[in-house]
């Protein structure tokens, strides 16, 4: 399912940026958007159209906007002032290819572009569309992803407690993943109770995803380097693996996935496709 969605999203992204005039900022935006990646957030949004028995085309612009926001955050996260990474998705980071100034601007422009798409397509359609667009914007900003990134920065200079780590990942990773589920639900007319359940599911999925990411980061890097140094050890950030070790982290990720399935069971809709996706994410190897 994820593969099928990824093909649709990759095609839509390629098409979107091919249709923009040829210039340096569009080139830098398209470079990062076309680097690949799992396309998890847009895939979740498309899945929601299926759950509400609506045409996935309805949600494709929202899916694109979510991936633009995600990509902007990765470009900025890779900058020398943040994680200072040379590689992203196995290819040179934006600032390595285009220089720091253009990388900052490409990230900024992707965030603007996401808002343009959300406002033009959804806010223009009425209150439900506007509420969905606002939910995404809030989840990415100072009440969500950016807040989480600030917490993360603080944890570079002092070791985070378990509660702080949970809060950081809920904001940094969980809020945008949850928005990819909740915003389509809002747009398709979910009532507040159902919306809250999808939000709880999304945050729990984000948690499972983040713990799994910490595990993969540690094990994949150790495999590549032939020694046990993970990326987040390099940047000094606290990870689940560092706090609990690999085995306990794996158990926590499994538990979070089971809790995801429990939340879905309380939603009176056919959500099997989301349950399958949560299980697939637990088995991922990258
Ligand atoms: C700079 C505002 C700002 C925010 C940065 C998302 C983020 C916040 C930083 C990226 C660093 C990181 C490891 C975050 C944890 C969330 C996460 C696992 C991001 C990577 O998402 P994937 O795995 O990436 O979906 P792909 O490449 O598959 O799209």
- Please give the average pLDDT of every successive group of 10 residues along the chain, which has 286 residues: 90 97 98 95 97 97 98 98 94 98 98 98 94 98 98 89 94 98 98 98 96 88 40 64 92 96 97 95 80
172 lines ligand 1 (CB under 6 A): yes
Name the residue of 77, 216, 218, 221 to mutate for ligand 1: max ligand atoms within 8 A of Cβ.
77
Q: What is the value of ipTM here, to two decimals?
A: 0.92
Give the whole-angstrom CA distance, residue 171 versus residue 99: 29
User: Percent helix, strand and coil across the chain, each rounded to 5?
Assistant: 75, 0, 20
Strands 87-88 and 91-92, by their bridges, are antiparallel
Query: What is the residue with the minimal CA distance to atom 15 of ligand 1?
Result: 173
Angle of the 127-140 helix axis to the 100-121 helix axis, nearest 10: 160
Give which of 116, 103, 104, 117 is closest to 31, Cα–Cα: 103
Give which of 179, 195, 215 is closest to 70, Cα–Cα: 179
Å from CA of 140 to ligand 1 middle:
12
Give the whole-angstrom CA distance, residue 269 versus residue 286: 30
**3-class SS at 4?**
helix
Give which of 23, 129, 121, 22 is closest to 68, Cα–Cα: 121
pTM of the model: 0.94
Å from CA of 193 to ligand 1 middle:
29
Give the whole-angstrom CA distance, residue 114 versus residue 120: 10
Å from CA of 14 to ligand 1 middle:
21
Query: What is the residue with the minimal CA distance to atom 27 of ligand 1?
Result: 37
pLDDT at 236: 63
75 lines ligand 1 (CB under 6 A): no
The ligand 1 atom nearest the CA atom of 36: 27
- CA separation, residue 103 to residues 40, 92, 119, 133 (Å): 23, 12, 24, 25
The ligand 1 atom nearest the CA atom of 169: 15
pLDDT at 221: 55
Å from CA of 78 to ligand 1 middle:
10
Å from CA of 127 to ligand 1 middle:
30
77 lines ligand 1 (CB under 6 A): yes
Query: What is the residue with the minimal CA distance to atom 13 of ligand 1?
Result: 213
Query: What is the residue with the minimal CA distance to atom 29 of ligand 1?
Result: 37
């Amino acid at each position: 399912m994820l593969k099928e969605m990824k093909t649709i999203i990759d095609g839509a992204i390629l098409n979107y940026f091919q249709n923009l005039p040829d210039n340096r900022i569009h080139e830098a935006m398209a470079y990062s958007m076309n680097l690949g990646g799992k396309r998890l957030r847009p895939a979740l949004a498309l899945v929601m159209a299926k759950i509400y028995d609506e045409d996935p085309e309805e949600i494709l612009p929202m899916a694109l906007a979510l991936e633009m926001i995600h990509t902007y955050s990765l470009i900025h996260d890779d900058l020398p002032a943040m994680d200072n990474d040379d590689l992203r998705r196995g290819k040179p980071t934006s600032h390595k290819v285009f220089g720091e100034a253009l990388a900052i601007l490409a990230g900024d422009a992707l965030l603007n572009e996401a808002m343009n798409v959300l406002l033009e397509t959804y806010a223009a359609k009425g209150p439900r569309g506007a509420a969905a667009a606002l939910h995404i914007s809030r989840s990415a900003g100072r009440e969500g992803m950016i807040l989480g990134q600030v917490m993360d920065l603080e944890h570079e200079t002092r070791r985070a407690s378990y509660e702080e780590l949970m809060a950081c990942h809920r904001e940094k990773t969980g809020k945008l993943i949850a928005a990819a589920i909740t915003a389509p639900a809002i747009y398709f007319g979910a009532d507040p109770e159902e919306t809250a359940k999808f939000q709880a599911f999304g945050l729990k999925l984000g948690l499972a995803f983040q713990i799994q990411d910490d595990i993969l980061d540690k094990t994949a890097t150790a495999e590549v380097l032939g020694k046990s140094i993970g990326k987040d050890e390099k940047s000094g950030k606290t990870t689940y693996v560092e706090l609990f070790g690999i085995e306990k982290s794996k158990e926590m990720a499994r538990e979070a996935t089971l809790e995801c399935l429990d939340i879905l069971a309380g939603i009176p809709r056919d959500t099997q496709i989301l349950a399958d996706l949560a299980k697939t994410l637990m088995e991922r190897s990258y």
